[in-house]
Amino acid sequence: MTYVQNVTGGPNSALALRGLTKRFDDKVAVAGVDLDVPTGSFFGLLGPNGAGKTTSLSMAVGLLRPDAGHAYVLGHDVWSDPVEAKRRLGALPDSARMFDRLSGSELLAYTGLLRGLPQDVVNARAAELLEVLGLADAGRTLVVDYSAGMKKKIGLACALLHAPRLLVLDEPFEAVDPVSGALIRDILIRYVRNGGTVVFSSHVMAVVEKLCTHIAILADGQIKIVGTTDEVRGGRELEDVFVDIVGGRVSTGAELSWL
């Protein structure tokens, strides 16, 4: 991975999670997650459906109140010092809708003003982001009428607008066509090269294997394995490691015979 620079761990993590726990009624969704995302890393959070990826990331960015535990963005506690933490953080929540009855440029202007950026900065960055992400052609089309890939791209643009030091992306490659996916990948790689840190969740092995410097696998609300990509793989295919860790059943051929 040629674009890795200045990877540091420990207390200088870009994102540090300590004992995050969340329970919905009687179901424990996240059972004590500890995680250090080194500054300058491209960090993939893997896990099967229902493993608690979205729940963990929602707590990490301050959208979901944890039952216990802390989340720190570059040393600032997300829950007790939210203003400083969120200033350094850009997030693309998968479960949240956007204000999608605005056009792309309106949504960027709105986000920028809410972030407290000066008007001329918002104008310049919004125009550039729309151009680079290929959304300038959409003109005044409302985001609600965008395709899935365009929605991810405008969401990413909103997360990038204030030039955060940490990006937390929930399923950024979900339902995105290969062309948009490649564009998003290029932008993220450039961002990491310039010293930013990216954490993203996914269950697409190929993307994670190709992009990430670090990987954590989450299952049943707990981190099962974490390390650099090579450490986690241990010389095997990532998919095999994943299935081994997560477990699960394999089709025997006897069921669904009526199909």
Distance set, CA 24 to CA 35, 51, 95, 254 (Å): 22, 13, 16, 36
Q: Which is nearer to other proteins, 10 or 116 (CB)?
A: 116
Site residues for other proteins, window 42-61 (CB under 8 A)?
61
CA pair distance 169, 202, nearest whole angstrom: 9
Q: Which is nearer to other proteins, 168 or 238 (CB)?
A: 168
The yes or no reply on residue 126 touching other proteins (CB under 8 A) is yes
Distance set, CA 23 to CA 20, 117, 246 (Å): 10, 37, 21
The yes or no reply on residue 62 touching other proteins (CB under 8 A) is yes
The yes or no reply on residue 178 touching other proteins (CB under 8 A) is no
Report which secondary-structure segment, H or E, holds 200: strand 197-202
The yes or no reply on residue 105 touching other proteins (CB under 8 A) is yes
CA pair distance 46, 49, nearest whole angstrom: 10
Tokens of 79: 């829950």
Q: Which is nearer to other proteins, 2 or 252 (CB)?
A: 252
Tokens of 68: 């216990």
The yes or no reply on residue 2 touching other proteins (CB under 8 A) is no
The one among 11, 140, 178, 248 contacting other proteins by CB under 8 A = 140
The one among 6, 8, 12, 141 contacting other proteins by CB under 8 A = 141
Site residues for other proteins, window 16-45 (CB under 8 A)?
23-26
The yes or no reply on residue 175 touching other proteins (CB under 8 A) is no
The yes or no reply on residue 68 touching other proteins (CB under 8 A) is no
The one among 97, 190, 210, 236 contacting other proteins by CB under 8 A = 97
The one among 17, 51, 156, 158 contacting other proteins by CB under 8 A = 158
Site residues for other proteins, window 74-93 (CB under 8 A)?
82-83, 86, 89, 91, 93
Q: Are strands 166-170 and 89-92 parallel, antiparallel or unpaired?
A: parallel
For 91-115, the DSSP string reads EE-SSSPP-TTSBHHHHHHHHHHHT
Q: Are strands 27-37 and 15-24 parallel, antiparallel or unpaired?
A: antiparallel
Are 68 and 52 contacting, i.e. CB atoms less than 8 angstroms apart? Answer: no
Q: Which is nearer to other proteins, 123 or 228 (CB)?
A: 123
Helix axes 148-160, 178-193, angle to 10 degrees: 10
Give me the residues that bind other proteins (CB under 8 A), please. 23-26, 61-65, 82-83, 86, 89, 91, 93, 95-103, 105-106, 108-116, 119, 122-123, 126-127, 136-142, 144-145, 158, 251-254, 257-258
